[in-house]
Amino acid sequence: MAATSVSRPWNLLKWLITSAIQRYHKLHVFGKVFIWLLVLFYVAFGAFVFIVTPSRIAQFLYDQAKLLAATRLGWLGIIAAMILISFPPFIGHTTLVTLCGFAYGMKGFYIAIAGSLLGSALVFTVLRLLFSQRIRAWSAQNEKWQALEAVVRSKGLPLIILIRVSPFPPWVYANSLFASIEPVKLWQFVVATCFISPKLLLHVFIGSKMAALSDGDQRGRMDTHDKIINGLLVGGGIIIAIFTSWLVYNLVQSHIRHLQGIPPETDELAAEAIEDYDEDAPLLSPTHSRV
């Protein structure tokens, strides 16, 4: 029994590593260069944090966040940034949501949900208007995409909500994913996006607790017990976010593969279409730009 308990996490780790390597090999050369540049960035960032010290960096970030919160239209700037990073190939949605909590506390949730809804709806509308012909031409030649569209057309809003709350594809790719699925209507996409509110609330909460630990004055007034509690809340929030993301993704994939009234082969192809959605997707791949 003990050996089995140990082997499960190890098998999961091996699967994650293998899956990551396979996805890396599928990337275009520019995608691979981007990955290595990202790795280099994180190495350099880690060295920077080590040299400057985390406490000084945290204090600087806290001071800048409070200046932002004190600015009359600072919240509007965050919403504008959230709209921008909702368009591919930009990233940083979770970071900006956490910043909402870091700068505004739990009130930042209203900024996060407004920016998320506006950004995703605008991306959906723009991509759908500009690339509708490419979507139809591409999907007509892709068996997996035809299966995904058939499943979404059959099950409607409940399935759209399930796919939307799944953490994969990531935010920016999920926006283009739904714009690429012709049966999805704008109102359905907006309603489905509202269901990510608990995830946004969690990241805003994490940001608010990180702010309390980042400010030297607040940290100085805390006793050891309070510091431990706040640290555990931040760490626990991150763990909950990771675990729930993994759980939701697996539940969604399992649900799609076992839909009632849909042929099993169609279910499987639809699930694979979501799993394989990346830079080779119809609205993102340069190889389809001439379609």
- At residue 290, the pLDDT reads 43
What residue numbers bound the domain in which 24 lies?
1-52
Average pLDDT over residues 12-35: 72
Give 46-105 pLDDT, tens digit per residue. 787 778 776 777 777 788 888 888 888 889 999 999 999 888 778 888 888 988 988 898
Same structural domain for residues 39 and 125?
Answer: no
Average pLDDT over residues 268-290: 57
Same structural domain for residues 102 and 197?
Answer: yes
Same structural domain for residues 43 and 64?
Answer: no
Q: How many domains does the chain contain in total?
A: 2
Same structural domain for residues 232 and 186?
Answer: yes
- At residue 79, the pLDDT reads 93
Of 52, 67, 89, the residue that ends a domain is 52
Lowest-confidence pick of 5-9, 109-113, 174-178, 193-197? 5-9
Same structural domain for residues 114 and 214?
Answer: yes
- At residue 111, the pLDDT reads 94
Cβ–Cβ under 8 Å, residues 283 and 180: yes
- At residue 197, the pLDDT reads 92
Same structural domain for residues 114 and 206?
Answer: yes
- If you ran DSSP here, which 8-state letter would residue 263 be given? -
Same structural domain for residues 136 and 218?
Answer: yes
More confident residue, 267 or 173: 173
Q: Would you list the DSSP string of 164-233?
A: HHSS-S-HHHHHHHHHH-TT--HHHHHHHHHTTHHHHHHHHHHHHHHHHHH-HHHHHHS-HHHHHHHHHH
Cβ–Cβ under 8 Å, residues 279 and 28: yes
- At residue 281, the pLDDT reads 57
Kindly report the CA angle at 116 between 115 and 117, in degrees rounded to 5?
95
Of 27, 52, 77, the residue that ends a domain is 52
Give 130-139 pLDDT, tens digit per residue. 877 776 676 6
Of 34, 52, 70, the residue that ends a domain is 52
More confident residue, 216 or 161: 161
Same structural domain for residues 112 and 254?
Answer: yes
Same structural domain for residues 151 and 281?
Answer: yes
Average pLDDT over residues 177-184: 82
More confident residue, 281 or 80: 80
- At residue 191, the pLDDT reads 94
Lowest-confidence pick of 131-145, 160-174, 188-202? 131-145
Lowest-confidence pick of 12-26, 27-41, 95-109? 12-26
Same structural domain for residues 18 and 123?
Answer: no
Q: Would you list the DSSP string of 20-84?
A: HHHHHHHS-HHHHHHHHHHHHHHHHHHHHHHHH-HHHHHHHHHHHHHHHHHSTTHHHHHHHHHHH
Give 218-272 pLDDT, tens digit per residue. 766 777 766 677 677 777 777 877 777 777 777 766 766 666 666 666 666 666 6
- Ramachandran category for residue 87: left, alpha or beta (phi over 0 → left; psi -120 to 50 → alpha): beta
Same structural domain for residues 58 and 33?
Answer: no
More confident residue, 111 or 180: 111
Same structural domain for residues 74 and 165?
Answer: yes
